[in-house]
Amino acid sequence: MGREGISTGTINIKNVEIPGHYLIGEWNRGFYYAMEGFNCARTLVAAACIGAAAEKVLESGIEHIKKRKAFGMPLAGFEGIQFQLAEDHTRLESARLLVYKAAWMFDEMYKKGRFSHAEINKAVASAKLVAPTTAFDIIKDVLTWYGAYGYTKEAGLERGLRGVASYIIGAEGAQNIMRVIIAREVLGKEEVS
Ligand SMILES: Cc1cc2nc3c(=O)[nH]c(=O)nc-3n(C[C@H](O)[C@H](O)[C@H](O)COP(=O)(O)OP(=O)(O)OC[C@H]3O[C@@H](n4cnc5c(N)ncnc54)[C@H](O)[C@@H]3O)c2cc1C
The total of structural domains in the chain comes to 1
Q: What is the CATH number of the domain that holds 69?
A: 1.20.140.10
Ligand 1, from 169, 172, 178, 193: best to mutate by most atoms within 8 Å of Cβ?
Answer: 169
| Cα torsion 119, 125, 7, 14: sign | positive
Domain of residue 89 covers 39-191
Closest approach atom of ligand 1 to CA 175: 47
pLDDT at position 71, please?
A: 97
Q: Does residue 163 lie within any of the structural domains?
A: yes
Q: Are the CB atoms for 58 and 92 separated by under 8 Å?
A: yes
Q: Are the CB atoms for 115 and 35 separated by under 8 Å?
A: no
Q: Does residue 29 lie within any of the structural domains?
A: no
Q: Are the CB atoms for 42 and 106 separated by under 8 Å?
A: no
Amino acid at 121: N
Nearest to 76 by CA among 60, 90, 63, 87: 63
94 lines ligand 1 (CB under 6 A): no
Is residue 193 over pLDDT 80?
no
Rounded distance between C-alpha atoms, residue 163 and residue 155, angstroms:
15
**Tens digits of residue pLDDT in 67-104:** 999 999 999 999 999 999 999 999 999 999 999 999 99
Rounded distance between C-alpha atoms, residue 124 and residue 186, angstroms:
13
Q: Does residue 77 lie within any of the structural domains?
A: yes
Instruction: Give the contacts of 92 (CB within 8 A, at least 6 positions apart).
Output: 50, 54, 55, 58, 134, 138
7 lines ligand 1 (CB under 6 A): no
Q: How far is the CA of 173 from the centre of ligand 1 (A)?
A: 6
**Tens digits of residue pLDDT in 41-76:** 999 999 999 997 899 999 999 999 999 999 999 999
State the Rg of the chain over Cα.
Answer: 20
pTM of the model: 0.91
Q: Does residue 81 lie within any of the structural domains?
A: yes
